[in-house]
Amino acid sequence: MSSNIVRAVCPHDCPDTCALHVTVEDGVATAVKGDPEHPTTAGVLCTKVSRYTERTYHPDRLLYPQKRIGKKGEGKFARISWDEAVAIIAGKLRPLAASKPLAILPYSYAGTMGLVQGESMAQRFFHKLGASFLDRTICATAGGTGYKYTLGTRMGTDIEQTQNARLIVIWGGNPIASNLHFWMRVQEAKRKGARLIAIDPYRSLTAEKCHQHIALLPGTDSALALGLMHVLIKEDLLDHVYINDHTLGFEQLRERAAEWTPERVAATCGITAEEVMQLARDYGECGQRGEASIIRMNYGVQRVHGGGMAVRNICCLPALTGAWRHAAGGAQLSLSDAFPKNTAVLQRPDLFPVDLPRRTINMSTIGDDLLRETSADFGPKVEAVIVYNSNPVAVAPESGKVMQAFAREDLFTVVLEHFQTDTADYADILLPATTQLEHIDIHSTYGHLYMMANNAAIAPLGEAKPNTEIFRLLAKAMNLTEDCFSETDDEIAAQAFNKQHAHAVHFDWTSLKKTGWSKLKVPDAPFANGGFGTPSGKCEFYSASMAAAGLDPLPAYIAPYESLASNPELAARFPLAMISPPARNFLNSTFVNVQSLRDTEGQPHLDIHPQDAAQRQIAPGDRLRIFNDRGSFEAVARVTDKARPGLVVGLSIWWKKLASDHKNANEVTNQRLTDMGGGPTFYDTLVEVEKCA
């Protein structure tokens, strides 16, 4: 028997991007473990990925190309050959590419975060055709934009410093579920005496384990941040030297923050004025003592109307107290700008024909946009959509519209997948893609600072092919002759990072494949001496860029679209705020079909506060209908004060076809966009709940 260990990388959309050791015995992957030497992975994987072989060898894996033989959505397919599949797709795309390429739309997200199997060959293909661009907003663009307005770059505290912080504020994140390796370091900090505070409307697994939990109303974080500024300034818990040297607009900020008394903040956020004052004092006094405080924001904070502003406001706090002076201090949402990615080389936007019009479609409004007719302002109606690395029928907001759109008889749909997902059911052509164990890739991350290499551990299962190979075949069939369409995956990976950049001077693909990971060369406390990426080079309390974009240039409060305060008529009919953050054992909609993980999650639940349950005669275990004007779905009641009064929580994202009513939480979410960055507002949703008849 031959047995060896292959170095690989977890491909999922998770900040931890773990280094994996895959045990391969006689060509079969038998175990997937965390690399004990990789500093952030530390030999530990989450439950999901420790079951990776169960997902890889799942009996439902797509193993050969298929074409639809039933109605759209019905999920009936017949096997065809690769030649036939490629010929059918090219036959459909060729006339569109010749006459109205904007009618072709890619739809993809982060099913894999790999730079090769993500957006390399695929983007080259769509650019060369002159297809519509997809604005990939569904997760992080609101917060990313707010972060950049204030700090100029998506950079922040290195996760490897976390254990040295004295105060850790976990703001809109649930790291036990979604950022485990950060949480491991938080535990170490706690053992060394650090104080942990969670800011979350829901008593998540993480909030439960913090010293303090501030359960504000969803979508009100920007007001809380303004209240903290108010108290920090009023009680002079400031680092005046840091403010003077490295920030812009303090006097204007002082005036703005003066409007946000703890009482006003308390009323806006549904918490007490004492909570606001105490949090500000804990935070400010930590700075006065010369100790490190870190605010770990996560994306849960920005899935509401004012999501961008919330992140922007929170990002002002460490500059006020001088927390950036410490390697373990400051803030973090994402570290992704630390990676000098060669995006132009990977994706070749220059291939887009110069004489053709361009159009960008926002992936968060896919329901509406696939239903739009040709018009002067929209351009041609979308006639072909190629989905890879994403499952829009389950994950995109206002699902009823998304399903109606994918059911269009005149929409040609291709889906590249591992499994027959809810989206795959609507495909005209369904193509089998390889998993991370079957292809090579190179990864940047957003939660740590290592470049990561993924070697193929096993041969592709069945007739599955890597995304890159599928787009290479399509490019050939469409007669695209540029050299870049014949580059191998190794050749693409070797160009992924810019070696001229100080962070990646040591990058070399061949040696990275051997070592598995290599840390960027980045200073320990990135903003200790200022050096922000903003136009002024300072932390911008006042942002001229925001003013130019038509936004309030100062930290402000933007109310949710759907709340009692902002829309009382709507709230009279749908009084409960609903959020649907990730379930611990799924990764977005990935893993929902892995039996052992689904068994752990059980079935779709809705957490509801005892008061709200009593008003509706709801008992634990009751089957509930959750509804608003957009749609409805069913879940089983968990009556618990983990959900604050007025809030219901439906952990997500279930495959519709694996729920008993064939629906999920996105039936009720909406397609309205955030204040900046064009992001979705999944957690800005009012509903009513009733017992099922």
Ligand X SMILES: Nc1nc2c(c(=O)[nH]1)N[C@H]1C(S)=C(S)[C@@H](COP(=O)(O)OP(=O)(O)OC[C@H]3O[C@@H](n4cnc5c(=O)[nH]c(N)nc54)[C@H](O)[C@@H]3O)O[C@H]1N2
Residue 626: which of ligand SF4, Mo ion, ligand X, none does it interact with, CB under 5 to 8 A by kind? none
Pairing mode of beta strands 167-171, 450-454: unpaired
Stretch that binds Mo ion, among 138-146, 274-282, 373-381, 413-421 (CB under 5 A): 138-146
The least distance separating ligand SF4 from the CB of residue 11, rounded to whole angstroms, comes to 8
- Note the residues at the interface with ligand SF4 (CB under 6 A): 10, 12, 14, 16-18, 45-46, 48-49, 180, 587
Residue 665: which of ligand SF4, ligand X, Mo ion, none does it interact with, CB under 5 to 8 A by kind? ligand X
Q: Taking the mean position of all CA atoms in its chain, how far away is CA 144?
A: 11
With DSSP H G I counted as helix, E B as strand and the rest as coil, what are the percentages for the chain, rounded to 5?
A: 35, 20, 45
The least distance separating ligand SF4 from the CB of residue 506, rounded to whole angstroms, comes to 23
What would you report as the CA-atom Rg of the chain, rounded to the nearest whole angstrom?
Answer: 25
Q: DSSP letters of 588-651?
A: TTBTTT-HHHHHHH-S-EEEE-HHHHHHTT--TT-EEEEEETTEEEEEEEEE-TTBPTTEEE--
The closest alpha carbon to 562, from 572, 548, 549, 551, belongs to: 572
Question: Is 333 a residue that touches Mo ion (CB under 5 A)?
Answer: no
213 forms beta bridges with: 198
Residue 262 or 679: the one with the smaller Cβ distance to Mo ion is 679
Q: Taking the mean position of all CA atoms in its chain, how far away is CA 366?
A: 17
Residue 73 or 379: the one with the smaller Cβ distance to ligand X is 73
Question: Is 442 a residue that touches Mo ion (CB under 5 A)?
Answer: no
Question: Is 116 a residue that touches Mo ion (CB under 5 A)?
Answer: no
Residue 290 or 602: the one with the smaller Cβ distance to ligand X is 602
Pairing mode of beta strands 412-417, 19-25: unpaired
Residue with the two structure tokens 């990646």 = 504
Residue 52: which of ligand X, Mo ion, ligand SF4, none does it interact with, CB under 5 to 8 A by kind? none
Residue 50 or 536: the one with the smaller Cβ distance to ligand X is 50
Residue 163: which of ligand X, ligand SF4, Mo ion, none does it interact with, CB under 5 to 8 A by kind? none
The least distance separating ligand SF4 from the CB of residue 18, rounded to whole angstroms, comes to 3
Residue 13 or 428: the one with the smaller Cβ distance to Mo ion is 13
Question: Is 363 a residue that touches Mo ion (CB under 5 A)?
Answer: no
Question: Is 653 a residue that touches Mo ion (CB under 5 A)?
Answer: no
DSSP 365: G
Residue with the two structure tokens 């799942």 = 58
The least distance separating ligand X from the CB of residue 366, rounded to whole angstroms, comes to 11
The closest alpha carbon to 432, from 77, 132, 127, belongs to: 77
Query: What is the residue type of 666?
Result: N
Residue 16 or 158: the one with the smaller Cβ distance to ligand SF4 is 16
402 contacts 367 by C-beta, under 8 angstroms: yes
Question: Is 297 a residue that touches Mo ion (CB under 5 A)?
Answer: no
Stretch that binds Mo ion, among 44-52, 68-76, 135-143, 337-345 (CB under 5 A): 135-143
User: What are the E-state strand segments in 480-614?
Assistant: 517-519, 539-540, 576-579, 605-608
Question: Is 139 a residue that touches Mo ion (CB under 5 A)?
Answer: yes
From residue 482, alpha-carbon distances to 476, 485, 486, 489 in Å are 10, 6, 8, 16
The least distance separating ligand SF4 from the CB of residue 640, rounded to whole angstroms, comes to 26
Question: Is 395 a residue that touches Mo ion (CB under 5 A)?
Answer: no
Residue 88 or 653: the one with the smaller Cβ distance to ligand X is 653
Residue 137: which of Mo ion, ligand SF4, ligand X, none does it interact with, CB under 5 to 8 A by kind? none
DSSP 493: H
Cis before 653? omega within 30: yes
The least distance separating Mo ion from the CB of residue 192, rounded to whole angstroms, comes to 31
| Cα gap 377→303, rounded to integer Å | 28
Question: Is 587 a residue that touches Mo ion (CB under 5 A)?
Answer: no
Residue 177 or 525: the one with the smaller Cβ distance to ligand X is 177
Residue 12 or 303: the one with the smaller Cβ distance to ligand SF4 is 12
- Note the residues at the interface with ligand X (CB under 6 A): 13-14, 109-112, 117, 138-139, 171-174, 177-178, 199-202, 204, 218-219, 221, 298-301, 304, 388-391, 395, 416-419, 421, 433, 467, 579-582, 584, 586-590, 652-653, 665-666, 669, 682-683
460 contacts 434 by C-beta, under 8 angstroms: yes
The least distance separating ligand X from the CB of residue 453, rounded to whole angstroms, comes to 16
Residue 446 or 527: the one with the smaller Cβ distance to Mo ion is 446
The closest alpha carbon to 341, from 513, 510, 485, 520, belongs to: 520
Residue 342 or 445: the one with the smaller Cβ distance to ligand SF4 is 445
**E strand or H helix at 106:** strand 104-108
Give the footprint of Mo ion on this chain (CB under 5 A): 139
